[in-house]
Chain A
């Protein structure tokens, strides 16, 4: 009896291993990269994909987070019939999860075929070879949309003579004001700030009349950079970290915070500055045009005014950043050519650009500028801010630099005994990350 039982168990075990092995061999089938990814939402339908050689539809995946599918899906309409490529969307819970998982997924060949990459912390990914240059696809005509892109965007995405992505929109930073609170504080349109001193004056009014901080400051590198650039500073890839302009910009934030004019999302237990403005915990914040979609969806009754990022006294030409995300091909994909075709198809699609306009984004193609101004009158002035706006210019260390900047500013803001100054912070950053 024991022998029979043992034999049965052995057989059962062998069967289990065989079953496991079967799954493994399926997942390693060449050219079925999307099938490998168990976390992909596209897994089920990808079983029939990746049959490009036999003339069937090739399925590729695009990775992103947040509302990225709403942004990109209209560009894929009709793609399957037109070029035989189907795009499926692989959503990550947060941008941090996206960036933290991506290298491992690339190594395991389970990463999406292409992604939307912003021009913020992109250099390390390019330098590490995670992004595939697409210059050859531009040269051979697979990607023809490159010519439509404005020169300012081309300059961002052409690195060391190679093109690493096709920018699809451009977004100058904005300064958002909750007009309900603005009016409640008896401030008028004439009081709308042009300089940071004006912002400080408005903050004093908010503190005196409503007993609340007027300005929301999110302790993220994006927002620090707006202040530095609008003070006439900036990082210039690590060449100009320790400058009086950057020191003054950071000191402005520190002083305003210590005087009680500023609240940070972190203290309120949230991560997004837009939430603070929506909830009325502060009236003003640096942000982006993504506020528009968020406010429409989550706080449609709140009146918001979007203006250019204020500048420091005497720095009238200074402006904030230019967000120029692009569609980039990731390393390790088995359908590089089809991915390039898909990117080109999306970029050539009018419905893609029009959807971006509806979401409040300025398309990369200057031909759509007038349509943007017409459809988004409250953001029309941003089109004029495009030429003045700057790339982020973070040092090549990318995220390491961003984390160090945040950490030092958190020490200055969130330690009530801190005497750290803006000048000390930029000096230390220059020593560590300066080029």
Chain B
């Protein structure tokens, strides 16, 4: 009976396993193998094995390091910011307020709108002399079109990205907040805990696993940001202006598709995978230790 159940189980999961093998594992392994080749998929007859040459080239390429530093900066700024904001919004919208559904939907809508459209919409706010640029000019920043400035383009990208992502993580946090037993808050109130203490001593520890999930998702997604950069670059090279918004993903896309250097692009993709994998593993280990 057990054997029969096992066979039936395998049959049920077979489509998903096949899908995963064909569309995830095979391309991933193929990318790793291509990274050891000088590879042009349009002219396969010229492809040749070059060993680690693509990796050696990568670590001597200043453009790669620029892209790498931008990716890390994105993650370092965006992930904590969007996590804090989405948590704060979730706490607010989980409380006893009127029109809760309306506010929740309003916060979530940016996430379902096309990233291209959102970016273009924001560009008009951050035009030279536009409302946002003028506001920041009053605070002492330059009144320029942010998305076209090598100084401000990355900050613009972060603002657009965070604005769009907060709604998604807010929904995840709301789900977690609703799982926290109300009795804990009531008991804390009886013991004289104020709102801040209840938040930091009950809510935060109780939704710790969700926070880890949000941090991991946030990190992976921030490393893979692409659409907003493409919208900002328009017909200029990806990462425009002057590479100010280049990231690992735009770097590997450019090498692979714009310059048809698939081996080199795949090497960058492998490095990106290793970075994401390592950071996720570190987060997992730290999470387990704190448990």
What residues of chain A have their CB less than 8 Å away from a CB belonging to chain B?
2, 6, 9-10, 13, 16, 94-96, 99-104, 106-107, 124, 128-130, 219-220, 264, 266-272, 331, 399-400, 402-403, 406-408, 410-411, 414-418
Contacts and interface: CB of A to CB of B under 8 A. Distances in A.
B11 A414 contact: no
B43 A130 contact: yes
Nearest to A2: B8
9 contacts: A13-B11, A99-B258, A266-B145, A267-B148, A399-B258, A403-B258, A407-B243, A411-B242, A416-B142
Given A128-B40, A410-B242, A403 B237 contact: yes
Nearest to A99: B258
Contacts of A130: 42-43
B59 to A, nearest CB: 18
Contact of B42 (A6, A13, A128): A128
Nearest to B126: A269
Nearest to B147: A269
B259 A414 contact: no
B14 A406 contact: no
Interface string B249-279: 0000010011110000000000000000000
Contacts of B234: 266, 270-271
A224 to B, nearest CB: 12
Contacts, number: 108
Given A220-B236, A266-B241, A410-B240, A103 B150 contact: no
Nearest to B253: A100
Contacts of B142: 416
A271 B235 contact: yes
Given A103-B257, A410-B240, A416-B151, A269 B42 contact: no
A402 B128 CA distance: 27
Contacts of A13: 11, 14-15
Interface string B139-150: 000101101111
Contacts of B144: 267, 416
Interface residues on B, range: 35 or more
A403 B235 CA distance: 10
Contact of A9 (B12, B46, B240): B12
A-B residue pairs, 5 tightest by C-beta: A271-B234, A410-B242, A403-B237, A103-B42, A411-B242
Interface of B: 8, 11-12, 14-15, 40-44, 46, 120, 123-124, 127-128, 142, 144-145, 147-151, 234-237, 240-243, 254, 257-260
A403 B43 CA distance: 23
Interface SS, A side: helix
Contact of A414 (B15, B40, B123, B242): B242
Given A6-B11, A267-B145, A406 B237 contact: yes
Contact of A406 (B42, B149, B236): B236
B260 A124 contact: yes
B150 A410 contact: yes
A201 B145 CA distance: 26
Contact of A407 (B8, B15, B237): B237
B14 A407 contact: no
A415 B150 contact: yes
Nearest to A100: B257
Contacts of B235: 94-96, 220, 271-272
B48 to A, nearest CB: 14
A264 B240 CA distance: 13
Contacts of A101: 257
B42 A411 contact: no
A107 B42 contact: yes
A358 B275 CA distance: 56
A104 B240 CA distance: 24
A281 to B, nearest CB: 11
Nearest to B15: A13
A264 B148 contact: yes
A130 B42 CA distance: 7
A140 B142 CA distance: 65
B260 A411 contact: no
B145 A269 contact: yes
A269 B124 contact: yes
Nearest to A413: B241
Contact of A107 (B41, B236, B243): B41
Contact of A128 (B43, B124, B242): B43
B148 A414 contact: yes
B149 A415 contact: yes
Contacts of A403: 237, 254, 258
B150 A414 contact: yes
A104 B41 contact: yes
Contacts of A417: 151
Given A6-B11, A219-B236, A399-B258, 18 more contacts: A95-B235, A100-B257, A101-B257, A102-B42, A104-B41, A128-B46, A129-B42, A266-B234, A266-B236, A269-B124, A331-B42, A402-B237, A407-B237, A411-B242, A414-B242, A415-B242, A416-B149, A416-B151
